[in-house]
Amino acid sequence: MSWRIKEQLRELLADESGYYVHHDNRRTRVALAYPNSYFVGMSNLGLHIIYRLLNERSDTACERCFLPEKRQQEEYIKHRTRLMTMETQSDLSSFDIVAFVMSFEMDYFNILKMLELGKINPLASERDERDPLIIAGGPCATFNPEPMSMFVDAFVIGEGEVIMPSFMEVYNKARVEGKSRQELLDLLAGIPGVYVPSCYEVQYASDGYGAHFLPISDAPPKVSRQWLKNLDEFPGETVIYTDNTEFKLHLVEIARGCGRHCRFCMAGYCFRRPRNRSLPAIEKMLLNAKKDGRRVGLMGAAISDYPEIDNLCRDILGDGLSMSVASFRADSVTYELVDSLAKSGLKTLTMAPEAGSKRMRAVINKGIEEEHLLNAMAMGIKTGIRNFRLYIMIGLPGESHEDIQGIIDMAVKLKTFMEDHGATGRLTLSINPFIPKPFTPFQWAPMASLKYIQGALKEINGALKKKHNIEIIAESPRDAYVQAVLARGNRNTGVYLWEAYKNGGSKGMKAVLREHGTSMEELVGQEIPPDVDLPWDILDMGFSRDYLRKEYMEAQKEAPVHTVQCFDGCKRCGVCE
């Protein structure tokens, strides 16, 4: 046992306020595990929401656990210390339930690392009655849990506020009744929104698709995603304060889901329907921000779409607070919002046109035009903001050389606009390769080849490198490929993941796939045939495959018709029955 690690955890805890410690040992002990560092994890709003939800129950005590930094990992191993939680520095393996937050595919490697550091067998089939139940939730669990199904006992599909109360009740009752681990899993599989992989046998066709799920025992044929109808029923804000985190903000969720129908966007499909919190409910959370005097970080998929955004900005600034947002839609941004951000000290405005050409923005159904970007920039410049950032994707379905040129032309035009209007700051292009995600219209689309992505990046870099104050930040195409393999994988992907993990992590993936006679390009570089059953078809998002297919076909037309955003009374996709 390393006393130094214990001491380090206590020191971090001493810098926090708002955490829970329960001394009632009759409560079920849950370790909420974030598969990244404390610094990153403490800025995850989902973690705060579930932490509060579980701790406010009278039967549950929830603590947090994070992936230690590299040096601390070595210390854990050197001193044969098991991974510990923050609140009481208890062994992860001593908890009844370990609940992982699955937000990013690359974190899957970190989940395996945390299990290993916690001396918990990562393989679900080899764990027994003495081991904690390993569960996972979050965006990646919701759209395709299959690649992690070898390691996780049960997945939460959808929103925790709706599912976790039933989950804890069933868990506690089963424990009181002395049910075995398998009996417990069978019971959990009956809860709406809970997917227990061991309750299904799966067969695949030779290409890895054609997934055929056979429920064992009473497990339902499909697992329905659960979502919260009224956001006001549960608060969505920072619960624990610390300065040792990425964003030193009081995070406040103002909306969930997005109704804009961008065809690549998992958040826009898997968190339907779009919902807003009422202004009074948000104002209540602002009071907590005021107590602490922190800057307010507004959270939601498309902040500028919030119908009362101007009133909200006035409330925040009127309360003597400042505010921040990650990005906004250039077509719905208001002057009040931009001005409030500038008055709050924001130095860079971020927008996400995603594509450079008008044609490609129509293909992805972005609904943002060049004049929207120029208009938002003009607002920014007028309020004193000098730097701008654009999120761009390359390798989108149907993309051609003209569309890459469109990115270059757009960057030059916007930079010239900045200079003409006296903004001497920087224009940053943050470029990511397109990754086809399950439950989006582009789920069938191939990922562009590595060669294409690298070539496109080279072309953009070459054309813009001599332009003054244009900066290009690009995600590694190889990492994007690993993400795509994990995002669109099946249960066999879990085997690749496990072997790659033992071979040094994501860098080991290429060699592992070669040993299995395949490659990343083969797994995600091909278009999936339209009629095969997909590995994630065990889940029901509330809309049909035909609905997605129609959108995919629309994207492939010469001139795609714009799909209008969600509206009251709409029944188009089937989520709002």
For 45, 121, 124, 490, the CA distances from 109, given in Å and listed in that order, are 22, 14, 16, 16
In the complex, what is the shortest distance from the CB of residue 353 to ligand SF4, in angstroms, rounded to a whole number? 10
In the complex, what is the shortest distance from the CB of residue 273 to ligand SF4, in angstroms, rounded to a whole number? 4
Choosing from 52, 64, 260, 415, the residue that interacts with ligand SF4 (CB under 6 A) is 260
Asked whether 490 and 537 are in contact (CB, 8 A), the reply is no
| H helix and E strand count, the chain | 21, 19
Give the three-class secondary structure for 512.
helix
Non-local (6+) Cβ contacts of 151 within 8 A are 111, 112, 115, 122, 123, 124, 134, 494, 498
Q: How far, in Å, CA of 440 to CA of 547, rounded?
A: 10
Cα-based torsion angle of the residue sequence 566, 568, 569, 572 in order, rounded to the nearest 10 degrees: 10
Report if residue 262 touches ligand SF4, rule: CB under 6 A. yes
Choosing from 35, 138, 147, 259, the residue that interacts with ligand SF4 (CB under 6 A) is 259
Report if residue 268 touches ligand SF4, rule: CB under 6 A. yes
Give the three-class secondary structure for 368.
coil
Report if residue 389 touches ligand SF4, rule: CB under 6 A. no
- List binders of ligand SF4 among 328-387 (CB under 6 A): 329
Report if residue 301 touches ligand SF4, rule: CB under 6 A. yes
In the complex, what is the shortest distance from the CB of residue 67 to ligand SF4, in angstroms, rounded to a whole number? 27
Choosing from 29, 272, 294, 491, the residue that interacts with ligand SF4 (CB under 6 A) is 272
Asked whether 46 and 103 are in contact (CB, 8 A), the reply is yes
Residue among 235 and 274 whose Cβ is closer to ligand SF4: 274
Q: How far, in Å, CA of 386 to CA of 281, rounded?
A: 34
Residue among 266 and 513 whose Cβ is closer to ligand SF4: 266
Specify the stretch interacting with ligand SF4 by CB under 6 A; choose among 134-142, 212-220, 258-266, 477-485.
258-266
Q: Which residue is nearest to ligand SF4 (CB)?
A: 268
Asked whether 68 and 77 are in contact (CB, 8 A), the reply is no
Residue among 88 and 430 whose Cβ is closer to ligand SF4: 430
HEC profile of 529-562: CCCCCCCCCCEECCCCHHHHHHHHHHHCCCCCCC
Give the three-class secondary structure for 238.
coil
Report if residue 570 touches ligand SF4, rule: CB under 6 A. yes
Q: What track of x and - describes contact with ligand SF4 for positions 202 through 241 (by CB under 6 A)?
A: ----------------------------------------
Q: Is the peptide bond before 52 cis (omega within 30 degrees of 0)?
A: no
Residue among 45 and 61 whose Cβ is closer to ligand SF4: 45
Report if residue 436 touches ligand SF4, rule: CB under 6 A. no
Pairing of strands 97-101, 28-34: parallel
249-253, strands of its sheet edge to edge: 249-253, 295-299, 323-324
Asked whether 31 and 97 are in contact (CB, 8 A), the reply is yes
Choosing from 124, 240, 539, 573, the residue that interacts with ligand SF4 (CB under 6 A) is 573
Specify the stretch interacting with ligand SF4 by CB under 6 A; choose among 26-34, 198-206, 259-267, 512-520.
259-267
Non-local (6+) Cβ contacts of 517 within 8 A are none
Report if residue 111 touches ligand SF4, rule: CB under 6 A. no
In the complex, what is the shortest distance from the CB of residue 563 to ligand SF4, in angstroms, rounded to a whole number? 9
Residue among 27 and 329 whose Cβ is closer to ligand SF4: 329
Specify the stretch interacting with ligand SF4 by CB under 6 A; choose among 101-109, 254-262, 330-338, 371-379.
254-262
Report if residue 431 touches ligand SF4, rule: CB under 6 A. no
In the complex, what is the shortest distance from the CB of residue 53 to ligand SF4, in angstroms, rounded to a whole number? 24
In the complex, what is the shortest distance from the CB of residue 255 to ligand SF4, in angstroms, rounded to a whole number? 10
> Which helix (H) or strand (E) covers residue 271, if one does?
none
Residue among 262 and 355 whose Cβ is closer to ligand SF4: 262
Asked whether 197 and 211 are in contact (CB, 8 A), the reply is no
Size of the site for ligand SF4 (CB under 6 A): 19
Asked whether 298 and 324 are in contact (CB, 8 A), the reply is yes
Q: How far, in Å, CA of 470 to CA of 454, rounded?
A: 19
Report if residue 572 touches ligand SF4, rule: CB under 6 A. yes
Report if residue 299 touches ligand SF4, rule: CB under 6 A. no
Choosing from 251, 254, 360, 575, the residue that interacts with ligand SF4 (CB under 6 A) is 575
Q: Which residue ranges make up the site for ligand SF4 (CB under 6 A)?
A: 258-260, 262, 265, 267-268, 272-273, 301-302, 329, 566, 570-573, 575-576
